[in-house]
Amino acid sequence: MSNYPGYRGESLTFLKKHNVVVGDSVKVSSDSGYMGILMPRYEYSDDNHIVLKLENGYNIGLKIENIKKIEGITSNSMKEEKEITKPQINSNLPRILLISTGGTIASKIDYRTGGVKPMLTADELNTAVPELIKIANIETEVLFSEPSEDLLPEHWNKIAKKLDSYATSDYKGIIIAHGTDTMHYTTAALSFALSGFPIPIVLVGSQRSSDRPSSDAALNLIAAARFIVECAERGIYIVMHNNTSDDDVACHLGTRVRKNHTSKRDAFQTIGGPPAFLVKNETIMRNFTGAYFKTKEYTPRINWETRVALIKYYPGLDPKIIDYFLESGYRAIIFEGTGLGHVGKVMYEHVGKAKKKGLFLGMTSQCIDGAVRMTVYESGRDLLNLGVVPLSNMISETALVKAMWALANTKNIDEMEKLMKQNIASEYSD
């Protein structure tokens, strides 16, 4: 692989002349002084700039003609990885299991490509955050290392079965390092499959990789460990920054949360209310007054049926999309309708056809907050008469996952409908 990915022409000549390559730590004198790591460039970028990643984690571009001097400080490609040492066990502290599945929290910047790759092991995460050893004895395990956009229901199955194997362990709780893009799908899946799990399960991610100075990984991990030890509230949670500062971290119920921002630290928000808990330094603040699991006994049902579709209605949607799912053998459709739970009349004939074919049809809303109420307008009542089931204020992604789970764990559509209407893991908020 080239030592100068993305560089060509003048910029390539400049770097070779000064004997520095991508990945090197460099000192640059220009309009000001800069220290950082030389980063790769995009293939079609111009040839008169170089890119540095500064110590604060941000990238800047510097025009070659303005650079007075550049010198290499250390060669990143030649640096040896720090030795990973397991922390000593403190018999006075509880045990927490940290399982790594990949994602940004378990990633490093690849200075050859400029991208973020899954590279950190669970042991490295533990070692990188020394504050953890003051809270609990952290034991680590790598289940797989995948960005969350590549996760499928079979990965949920693997995670759930691994967790189930620890249901009778003496761990105080379990932390799962997970990518943020589909983390709320995984927490919904685990909430239904592992209903009543006897200890808390906390999924933790980060918006910036763990080796960046601006990473949010450490605080999220520390808060997750503290929440498990000091609160021990069973359930499945997402623990992430509550705001853009480091003042507090939010603990969201796994079925009532979604990612609402692409890159901010506080990307995750509880829908329909405040986060269930807030971790402020060493204080746990409780906002949630209900019972996460409606069932008291642990009754694992680890199975998903993927022939479920999520259809977002919009003006101009071709109703024949429903016919496609019918012909493809799908057994359930979750609609993300407008307002109180509506789709246009152009869809009615095809909705009716799907119901006659025996599909489960559920209705959620595109609105971020509020509940489906299909008795208010004539269009909603028409859909009720066609057999569409209103799903109150269940989040559409949660409804999709629950339908996959309910379909796989019932004998027929009637049983599935009953299960979809039950409030199993606080998927319906009060």
The string of DSSP codes covering 346-363 is GGHHHHHHHHHTT-EEEE
**Whether residue 289 lies in the annotated active site:** no
**Whether residue 68 lies in the annotated active site:** no
CB 221 within 8 A of CB 129: yes
User: Of 101, 140, 180, 410, which one is the catalytic site residue?
Assistant: 180
Domain locations in the chain?
9-78, 95-286, 308-421
Topology match between the domains 95-286 and 308-421: yes
Cα→Cα distances 138→30, 122, 305, Å? 46, 10, 34
pLDDT attached to residue 247: 80
pLDDT attached to residue 54: 79
pLDDT attached to residue 105: 62
Cα torsion 244, 246, 247, 248: sign? positive
pLDDT attached to residue 39: 82
Query: How many Å apart are CA 10 and CA 14, to the nearest integer?
Result: 6
Instruction: Report the greatest alpha carbon distance in the chain.
Output: 76
Cα-Cα end-to-end distance for the chain: 57
Query: How many Å apart are CA 425 and CA 190, to the nearest integer?
Result: 10
Look up residue 6 and give its two tokens.
Answer: 């993305």
Query: How many Å apart are CA 282 and CA 296, to the nearest integer?
Result: 29
**Whether residue 259 lies in the annotated active site:** yes
Superfamily for domain range 95-286: L-asparaginase, N-terminal domain (3.40.50.1170)
User: Of 53, 123, 127, 181, which one is the catalytic site residue?
Assistant: 181
Q: Is 108 helix (H, G, I), strand (E, B) or coil?
A: strand
Amino acid making up residue 217: A
Going by the DSSP 8-state scheme, the letter that residue 69 receives in this structure is: E
pLDDT attached to residue 110: 55
Going by the DSSP 8-state scheme, the letter that residue 338 receives in this structure is: B
pLDDT tens sequence across 218-256: 889 999 999 999 987 999 999 999 987 778 899 999 999
Which residues lie across from 98 on neighbouring strands?
140, 175
CB 74 within 8 A of CB 20: no
Tokens 């808990």 belong to residue: 277
Q: Is 335 helix (H, G, I), strand (E, B) or coil?
A: strand
Amino acid making up residue 408: A
Q: Which CATH number fits domain 308-421: 1.20.200.10, 3.40.50.40, 3.30.1950.10, 3.10.129.10?
A: 3.40.50.40
Q: For the chain, give me the number of helices (H) and strands (E)?
A: 10, 21
Name the nearest CA neighbour of 427 among 241, 262, 184.
184
CB 399 within 8 A of CB 428: no
User: Of 104, 140, 186, 255, which one is the catalytic site residue?
Assistant: 104
User: Of 101, 186, 255, 259, which one is the catalytic site residue?
Assistant: 259
The answer to pTM > 0.85 is no
Calculated CA dihedral for residues 327, 328, 330, 335, nearest 10 degrees: -80
Query: How many Å apart are CA 176 and CA 425, to the nearest integer?
Result: 19
The string of DSSP codes covering 396-422 is HHHHHHHHHHHHHTSSSHHHHHHHHHS
pLDDT digit string (tens) for the chain, length 430 residues:
578 878 889 999 999 999 998 888 899 998 889 988 888 876 666 888 998 877 766 678 899 999 999 998 876 543 444 555 667 788 999 999 999 998 666 555 554 455 555 555 666 666 667 788 899 999 988 898 888 999 999 999 999 999 999 999 999 999 999 989 999 999 999 999 999 999 999 999 887 554 444 457 788 999 999 999 998 799 999 999 998 777 889 999 999 999 999 988 889 999 999 999 999 977 999 998 776 665 678 999 999 999 999 999 999 999 999 999 999 999 999 999 999 999 999 999 999 999 999 999 999 999 999 999 999 999 999 999 999 999 999 999 999 999 999 999 999 999 999 999 999 999 998 7
Domain 9-78: state its class. Answer: mainly beta
**Whether residue 266 lies in the annotated active site:** no
